[in-house]
Each structure stands twice: as structure tokens, then as C-alpha cells.
Amino acid sequence: MKPKNEPVVTGVLAHLMRFFTDLFKSVAESLLVVVGTYVFATAVSAGILWFYDWPLFIAPVGGFIVLGVMLVFWYDA
């Protein structure tokens, strides 16, 4: 079988599209990590608060604390 001769798109527009695609993929991946960490930390905080019969409205504070510590160590280069 012969391989199909598909046109190869080259040029400024193709490189620009590849750049924005890679940029969007990196931002989306980092955002998913941050949101997932926040949700997990908030759920763990809520579980601990529920176990000790404390008010659950302070559960997001645990998520923000874990998120802040994570971001400090993540971008510390």
C-alpha cells in the first residue's frame, strides 16, 4: 500500500495555531490541577469539620490554605 499524499500545512498560520494550542493545553492542565487540589482539600476539610461538629461553612478555608501552600512551592524556582 502506498501512503496517502496529504498536504502538509506550513507557514506562519500553522505555527501560530500550534503555539496557541500548546498554550491553551498547558493552561487548561494547570487549571485542572489547581481546581482538583482545591476541591479535594475542601472535601477533606469538610469531613474533618463534620467529624468534630464544627460549622461546615469554614471548610473552604482549608482548601485555600492548601492551595496557597501548593502554589508557593509550585512556583518557587
What pLDDT is attached to residue 2?
Answer: 58
- Mean model confidence pLDDT for the chain: 86
Residue 48 has pLDDT above 90, yes or no: yes
| Rounded-to-integer distance, Cα 49 and Cα 61, Å | 11
Mean pLDDT in residue range 45-52: 95
Q: What is the pTM of this model?
A: 0.72
CB-CB contact of 59 with 49 (8 Å): yes
| Rounded-to-integer distance, Cα 62 and Cα 46, Å | 8
